[in-house]
């Protein structure tokens, strides 16, 4: 699943990849690159050169292939994952029960909030699920109340009770 806001893939906005088609399938080199980029990314002045050296590729090809994978929607995101709580911020899972007739309006309203990290449609009474990311723990409740005012619907918050570390790497 993508981590992007609703609008493509199985995210809340469309329910499908309407209008977004991959221009090419990843080849074996792309697969090796995807696998190499998951975890332990080099922290140096030339990280893409280091990744390339490990794969037998020039830095320019690593960058071009990564950009192509993003442009073709094979990858939806490339970047670090932060533990926001260690920096004073907060994450919270949230959900809304959205009437089908009001779906498009609510998707647009919810995704207008910069605090919405990603947003998915689900088969459940609470059919819109999303993650709020704020600069402080108090920001979660504030954002939920503003979202309720904007949508006219109750926002249900599901704060993290316990944290688990699961290193997920997907073999390409």
Predicted pLDDT of residue 166: 67
DSSP character for 119?
A: E
Q: Return the biggest CA–CA distance within the chain.
A: 55
Which parts of 56-136 fold into alpha helices (H)? Answer: 59-71, 103-111
Count of CB atoms situated within 10 Å of the CB of 127: 18
Average pLDDT over residues 118-128: 92
Predicted pLDDT of residue 23: 65
Predicted pLDDT of residue 94: 97
Lowest mean per-residue pLDDT among 17-21, 41-45, 102-106, 121-125 = 17-21
Written as six digits, the tokens of 164 are 């688990």
Percent of the chain having pLDDT more than 90? 57
Average pLDDT over residues 98-118: 93
| Segment 32-77, tens digit of pLDDT | 999 999 888 899 999 999 999 999 999 999 999 999 999 988 887 7
Predicted pLDDT of residue 86: 76
Pairwise CA distance, residues 140 & 102, whole Å? 24
Nearest to 63 by CA among 33, 21, 31: 33
Q: How many helices and strands, by DSSP H and E, does the chain display? A: 5, 4
Percent of the chain having pLDDT more than 70? 81
Pairwise CA distance, residues 55 & 43, whole Å? 17
User: What are the structural domains of the chain?
Assistant: 28-71 (no CATH), 84-158 (3.30.70.920)
Predicted pLDDT of residue 1: 31
**Residue 102, CA distances (Å) to 2, 9, 81, 151, 164 in order:** 24, 20, 33, 9, 36
Written as six digits, the tokens of 67 are 């950009």
Pairwise CA distance, residues 115 & 152, whole Å? 18
The mean pLDDT of the chain is 83
Query: Which of 80-94, 108-122, 155-169 is predicted most confidently?
Result: 108-122
């Amino acid at each position: 699943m993508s981590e992007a806001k609703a609008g493509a893939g199985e995210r809340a906005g469309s329910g499908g990849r309407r209008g977004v088609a991959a221009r090419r399938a990843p080849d074996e080199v792309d697969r090796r690159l995807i696998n190499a980029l998951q975890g332990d990314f080099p922290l140096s002045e030339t990280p893409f050169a280091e990744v390339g050296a490990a794969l037998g590729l020039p830095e320019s090809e690593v960058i071009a292939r990564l950009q192509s994978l993003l442009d073709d929607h094979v990858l939806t995101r490339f970047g670090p994952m932060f533990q926001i709580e260690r920096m004073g911020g907060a994450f919270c899972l949230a959900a809304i029960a959205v009437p089908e007739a009001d779906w498009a309006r609510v998707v647009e309203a919810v995704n207008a909030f910069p605090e919405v990290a990603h947003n998915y449609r689900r088969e459940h009474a609470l059919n819109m699920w999303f993650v709020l990311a704020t600069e402080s723990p108090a920001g979660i409740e504030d954002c939920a109340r503003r979202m309720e005012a904007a949508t006219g619907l109750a926002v249900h918050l599901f704060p993290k009770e316990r944290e688990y570390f699961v290193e997920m790497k997907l073999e390409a």
